[in-house]
């Protein structure tokens, strides 16, 4: 197992593949926000976390893989603020497969370790993308209560 450290983002020019991926994520975000975390749509989840400086709550659709004891999330951008916030807090909430889970003990792992959590088809896609780090989280054994319909997922 290889654990990596994440530092504050540095203003570097993204690679061509990274820029294409960033644009795809920005454009598909609104659609994914409605699908992420729903039952039977298990490749996407919603991560909820608090800003480390503002204390504001954020919700973000993310690609995810479930493991027996937690989740693995690809990190396409080095130093992304959501990663730094989750690491600083040491926990977050994941809405996955129609349930809310408390996720703790964030750990940045390398590509080889992270890709093992994904099935064969997603793993092929990951090889083609410029993703070199993943965030591993441990989840509570019991899912958190599902919010009432009046508290829809918004950010």
Domain boundaries, the chain: 26-139
Q: Is pLDDT above 80 for 11?
A: no
pTM above 0.85, yes or no: no
CATH of domain 26-139: 2.30.110.10
Q: Which residue has the higher pLDDT, 95 or 9?
A: 95
Give me the pLDDT at residue 127, please: 83
- Nearest by Cα to 153 from 62, 33, 70, 57: 33
Query: CA dist 51 to 55, 75, 85, 110, Å?
Result: 5, 18, 6, 25
Coarse DSSP helix, strand, coil percentages of the chain, rounded to the nearest 5 percent: 30, 35, 40
Burial of 114 (0-12, 13-18, 19+ CB in 10 A): buried
């Amino acid at each position: 197992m290889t654990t990596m450290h994440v530092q504050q983002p540095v203003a570097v020019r993204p690679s061509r593949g990274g820029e294409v991926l960033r644009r795809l994520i920005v454009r598909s975000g609104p659609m994914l926000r409605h699908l992420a975390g729903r039952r039977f749509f298990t490749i996407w989840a919603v991560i909820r976390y608090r800003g480390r400086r503002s204390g504001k709550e954020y919700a973000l659709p993310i690609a995810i893989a479930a493991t027996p004891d937690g989740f693995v999330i690809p990190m396409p951008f080095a130093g992304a603020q959501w990663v730094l916030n989750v690491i600083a807090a040491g926990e977050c909430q994941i809405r996955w497969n129609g349930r809310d889970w408390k996720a703790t003990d964030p750990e940045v792992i390398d590509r080889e370790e992270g890709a093992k959590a994904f099935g064969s088809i997603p793993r092929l896609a990951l090889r083609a993308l410029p993703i070199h780090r993943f965030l591993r989280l441990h989840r509570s054994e019991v899912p958190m209560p599902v919010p009432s319909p009046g508290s829809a997922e918004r950010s």
